[in-house]
Structure 1
Amino acid sequence: MLQGILPVLPTPFLPDGAIDRAGMDRIVDFALACGADGVVFPGFASEVDELTAEERTELLRLVVARVAGRVPVVAGASAGTVEEAVAHSRAAMAVGIDTVMIQAPRSVGAGAEAVAGFYAAIAQQVPGLTIVLQNAPAPRGSDLSPETILGIVRGNPAIAYVKEETLPSGGPISAILAGAPPHLRGVIGGGGARYIVEEYRRGACGAMPAVELTDMHVALDRHFRAGAVEQARDLYMRTLPLLVIQANFRMRFTKHVLVRRGVLQHAGVRARLPQLDSHDLEEIDAWLARVADLLTATP
């Protein structure tokens, strides 16, 4: 069962743009030290579009080795074609991962029949695969309706989870869970945990935020599951200023915070993202100082 906080791990780079393998190890160690219930790699937050197929496979193998079976690893296998998604899924299976997260490409459209055919072809070609259907908002995703998702899931026993990221996500989460077939084990929240309390109240079994605030998100998750909803809300309020900034700068923000927390030595990215200037950095650092008591994990 996938549940709780399952951060999407970033890809660390050296100053020359090469993969920072030692940094990848430290990121995994940090996520586990924070109490993560699982990890996801690669995803959008991993700059997956900037990685070669060889880099994806190498890093995934490294992540699996570092985790060493302590928590589940979910492999990202989204791609523009069935053939590429199948190749990514087989690469995950080859390193011991049987759960993959896949977003159907926009080229398939948003019709139930076409999207269902995309997922069915993958499941048929990779027996034993467990699929997390990722439903992302436009322009990155296809904004599939709950009715469309339920139609796809009902016809494909390999789809065990849905990661619901359309906005607002609350209604779709409730609708999917209300109509879920027995083989659907849960719905996972997205949106960088910016809506996590609402998603949890709707019945989401977990969340997949970025990794830099995992200890804060784990604390929130544990309070919510213990019935201490007001304490969870308090933690949520303290994360929000940082998550609002993260929404603009994405992986630059994540890596800056990881540098500040001593996890990474370099904050470089390959993706084309807005630059952080001195004012941005000062603002991030000021908000980090305000939640220093919640940043409990050390590298």
Structure 2
Amino acid sequence: MAELQGVFPILPTIFHADGRVDEAGTSNVFEYLLDSGAAGVVFPGLASEYDMLTPQERLDLTTCLGKWNRGRVPVIIGASAKTLDQAVAYAVAGSEIGAAAVMVLTPHAHAGDLPAMSTFFNDLHARSGVPIMLQNAPAPMGIGLGVEEVVSLAASVPGIAYVKEETMPSGHRITALSQRTAGSVQAVFGGAGARYVLDELTRGAVGTMPACEITEVHVAMLAAWAAGEREYARVLFERTLPLLSMQAIFRWRLTKAVLKRRGLIASDHVRAPGPALDADDQRELDILLSRIADLVPMDSVPGRTKRHLA
């Protein structure tokens, strides 16, 4: 059994209306994730707007996360960076708070050069001492390594303990990686906002790393699947698909719009570029949320979130 498995939502960075980091708001969302039964938490990821944070903000929030968590759940720290030295700094900060792993994108600087990429990851592990989760995302976020390349990289870098596979078709890749990296990595996770989560679980993924706005539903979905209640897991999946489809377009803006409606944050400010929800989108979001109100209550403040869905 893999050390890490289950629902590991991406913790967003919450900002004040003026754009400053809102540590209290981010902490409040973190507590909601734990109260919802998340197996662990990932920060920062794309849904955290990590590329909109300064290096110091990332380091400071990593320290905050360790203080908020106090060892309650495994934490995966995002350490993707343009340079090895910066990735090491983020990974070491993760090590200092007891991170279970660091998640790192395949670096663009080494695209097409697998030996150089192997050296990068071996150096990162040697200098930080933290197990690595290789995040294989497609361009432009990552470089979308092929299955053979991921297998080769995992075999040549002992520090790679996990793979998060997000290059399409992720299901086919997860099948191959689950079979072919069994001796070199502990497990494979799915991503892509949990839009393909049941297919990924069928094919050998041990968990998922979605955006966080409906964490309790994802937790219930995976619990039902693990218990053999596959029909109920599919009911939950199908009921949330319209919201996930909207989330695929608006990303962090959709996440924060829902969190604000749930009373978890005061401001839905984002730094990252992308389409904003107009008045019609806001009305559509209200309709979608009303149709799953029994699953996603709008008063889910920490301490009152429903852990189990009937």
After TM superposition, the score normalised by the length of structure 2 is 0.93
Aligned: 1:73 with 2:75: yes
Counterpart of 2:18 (choices 16, 19, 22) is 16
Structure 1 unaligned regions, length at least 5: none
Instruction: Report the Cα offset of residue 95 of structure 1.
Output: 2.5
Q: Equivalent residue for 1:108?
A: 110
Counterpart of 1:35 (choices 34, 37, 49) is 37
Q: Equivalent residue for 1:232?
A: 233
Contact residue 63 and residue 93 of structure 2 kept, 8 A: no
Give the SS at the match of 2:294: helix
Contact residue 8 and residue 41 of structure 1 kept, 8 A: yes
Equivalences for 1:43-54 in 2 at 5 Å? Answer: 43-54=45-56
Give the SS at the match of 1:292: coil
Q: Deviations over 1:62-106 (max 9, x none)?
A: 122112211101000001121111111112112332510001222
Counterpart amino acid of residue 294 in structure 1: L
Instruction: Report the Cα offset of residue 181 of structure 1.
Output: 4.3
Distance 1:283 1:110 in 2: 43
Instruction: Report the Cα offset of residue 183 of structure 1.
Output: 4.0
Instruction: Report the Cα offset of residue 196 of structure 1.
Output: 0.3
Q: Judge which range, 96-105 or 223-232, deviates more.
A: 96-105
Q: Equivalent residue for 1:62?
A: 64
Q: Deviations over 1:218-249 (max 9, x none)?
A: 01000000011111111110111001111111
Instruction: Report the Cα offset of residue 111 of structure 1.
Output: 3.8
Q: Equivalent residue for 2:262?
A: 261
Q: Equivalent residue for 1:188?
A: 189
Distance 1:165 1:187 in 2: 11
Aligned: 1:291 with 2:287: no
User: RMSD value over aligned CA atoms?
Assistant: 1.2
Distance 1:278 1:72 in 2: 39
Contact residue 24 and residue 63 of structure 1 kept, 8 A: no
Count, aligned residues: 298
% identity of equivalent residues: 46
Instruction: Report the Cα offset of residue 16 of structure 1.
Output: 0.9
Distance 2:195 2:268 in 1: 23
Distance 2:112 2:9 in 1: 27
Give the SS at the match of 1:8: coil
Distance 1:285 1:167 in 2: 31
Distance 2:179 2:25 in 1: 42
Structure 2 unaligned regions, length at least 5: 303-310
Aligned: 1:158 with 2:159: yes
Counterpart amino acid of residue 275 in structure 1: A
Equivalences for 1:135-284 in 2 at 5 Å? Answer: 135-284=136-285
Counterpart amino acid of residue 31 in structure 1: L
Counterpart amino acid of residue 196 in structure 1: V
Instruction: Report the Cα offset of residue 182 of structure 1.
Output: 2.5
Counterpart amino acid of residue 18 in structure 1: R
Q: Equivalent residue for 2:306?
A: none
Counterpart amino acid of residue 298 in structure 1: V
Counterpart amino acid of residue 172 in structure 2: G
